[in-house]
Amino acid sequence: MQPTSAYLDCSGRDDVLSGGVRMIPINTPKGVYRVWTKRFGNCPTMRMLLLHGGPGATHEYLEACDSFLPGAGIEYYYYDQLGSHYSDQPDEPDLWNIERFVDEVEQVRQALGLDRSNFFLYGQSWGGILALEYALAHQEHLKGLIISNMMASIPAYNEYAQNVLMPAMDQAALAEIKSYEAAGDFTNPRYMELLMEQHYVHHVLRMPLEEWPDPVQRGFNHINPSIYVPMQGPSELGASGALLHWDRTADLGRISVPTLVIGAQHDTMDPRHLEWMAGAVQRGRYLDCPEGSHLAMYDDQQVYFRGLIDFVHDVDAGRFSWSDE
């Protein structure tokens, strides 16, 4: 294991550091490691734990929350999952599976003292998979659930990429992208250049690359490929790793806690599927970001955060019901 900075070790101590940062020990089948969390705000009834995407990305791109959640009176926690940049990064491939990540979230919840009276769980992209899986295992601890930019089925996601996103691309560029993928040449600068031109600035973040916010740039620079590639797969036009057959569409009806599903019209994820998800859970609400993409918290920011904040406030005030859209 390579600690991410000088103050990290494997002693199992739960260290409270400066600026609201806390290193939480996590028991795993491979030993005890520590994950990084940082708290903002103080609200006894609205506490949101943020699950980042990837897998193997970081909390950094979620820093858009700093411009909206404090003013809304919501207490929130950034959190780098095990293996991500600010947390311990063990070289233990057996740890990178859904069940262990769900157990990690439960240990973080307990350490932070979150419970049904206050606990809102937010997950974006891969974090949405993790939040959905957590809810299916432990929804008795939740006050509210937010699934952002993540379909409930990887096969359906791959079908959307194949049948909708790829046909809309420049076909010569797509053929060149696929040639690099067929050769396994994923680190070729030309491959990434094509993806940025043909995919990222249209469906991941709809801004010119030179205008991408610093938190997004840092987040991309800190992705851990040792987790991302085995789970998601190396291709950016769909998933092909261990998550390939993940599908929870048949289980959504088991989720009874108030649930917000956030979709965006230009996302890599099918917005129609996301809207369907909101109707498939027992008490769901759908938030559509008409100008947004996968990172709609930046390219449709006002709509995104207004809808997110309204949901949390409505649940907290007891105003939420499945039919209140």
Does residue 74 fall inside a structural domain? yes
Distance CA 49, CA 234 (A): 28
Report, in this order, helix, strand and coil percent for the chain, each rounded to 5: 45, 20, 35
Provide the mean pLDDT of the chain. 93
The pLDDT-based confidence of 165 (bands split at 50, 70, 90) is very high
Determine the pLDDT at residue 172.
96
Distance CA 61, CA 1 (A): 25
- Lay out the sheet containing 21-28: strands in order across: 15-16, 21-28, 31-40, 75-80, 47-51, 119-124, 144-148, 259-264, 284-289
- Count the domains in the chain: 1
Does residue 139 fall inside a structural domain? yes
Does residue 304 fall inside a structural domain? yes
Token pair recorded at residue 153 = 């089925």
- Of 178, 224, 209, the C-alpha closest to 84 is 224
Question: Which residues, at least 6 apart from 244, have a Cβ–Cβ distance to it below 8 Å?
Answer: 154, 155, 158, 233
How many of the other CB atoms lie within 10 Å of CB of 324? Answer: 10
Distance CA 325, CA 322 (A): 8
Does residue 279 fall inside a structural domain? yes
pTM: 0.93
Distance CA 257, CA 53 (A): 22
Catalytic (active-site) positions: 125, 267, 294
CATH number for the domain that contains residue 292:
3.40.50.1820
Distance CA 303, CA 222 (A): 28
* Model confidence pLDDT, tens digit, residues 107-163: 999 999 999 999 999 999 999 999 999 999 999 999 999 999 999 999 999 999 999
State which residues form the domain around 273: 15-156+244-316
The residue-averaged pLDDT of 242-266 equals: 98
Distance CA 292, CA 175 (A): 27
The pLDDT-based confidence of 4 (bands split at 50, 70, 90) is very low
Determine the pLDDT at residue 187.
87
* Model confidence pLDDT, tens digit, residues 41-66: 999 999 999 999 999 999 999 999 99
Does residue 221 fall inside a structural domain? no
The pLDDT-based confidence of 321 (bands split at 50, 70, 90) is low
Does residue 5 fall inside a structural domain? no
Does residue 193 fall inside a structural domain? no
Distance CA 258, CA 42 (A): 22
Does residue 298 fall inside a structural domain? yes
| Phi, psi values for residue 214, rounded to 5° | -55, -45
